[in-house]
Copies of this chain bind each other. A is one copy, B any other.
Amino acid sequence: RVLPGVGPRSALRMATQLLVHDRVGAEYLSQSLQRALSALDQCRECQTLCEEEVCGICQSQKRDARLLCVVETPSDLLRVEQAGAFTGKYYVLMGRLSPLDGVGTQELKFAELMKRACDGVVQEVVVATNFTAEGEATAHVLDSLLTPRGLKVTRLARGVPVGGEIEFVDGLTLAQAFRERRDL
């Protein structure tokens, strides 16, 4: 029941599956967790999960240190890396602002992010939090904190996805795409 989204019934079902039908799997899961617990920690620079004290991307000399991309989770970081669209470095919030769940600027370590962004090398912070209500709120708070420090704060473009057909795009996205239309 310590797993996210797992209630008492699911937990019992999982336990039965592992202890009755798949004891080898249970042993494997236990050892994998133990290995991960001892080997993985958060990167000192960007907070993502990694095996070293500082992750490969933060260590790399090939990444553009003037660009800092803020994402919510390590999964988001991996997604952006897979897309091959970004050449700078990252900062992983490990969440998003969510006052109702008790997640505020302290829990997300905004102070650490400020220190990281104001190192004198970073020039632009690209906010790549989700386009959900909480992700957008997080983006605006970040903007209000970082812009006064003389940093350029940008947000990923919103609009019609690549390959998108007007007829099948949802109304809100279409309205947004009209508002944010750009010169051809």
Contacts and interface: CB of A to CB of B under 8 A. Distances in A.
Interface of A: 71-73, 75-76, 79-80, 82-86, 126-132, 135, 139-140, 143, 147, 152-167, 169-184
A181 B3 CA distance: 35
At the interface, is chain A mostly helix, strand, loop or mixed?
A: mixed
Contact of A172 (B127, B139, B155, B163): B163
Q: How many copies does the complex hold?
A: 2
A147 to B, nearest CB: 8
A84 B170 CA distance: 12
Contact of A182 (B157, B170, B176): B157
A26 to B, nearest CB: 28
Contact of A161 (B82, B126, B127, B161): B161
Contact of A163 (B132, B155, B184): B132
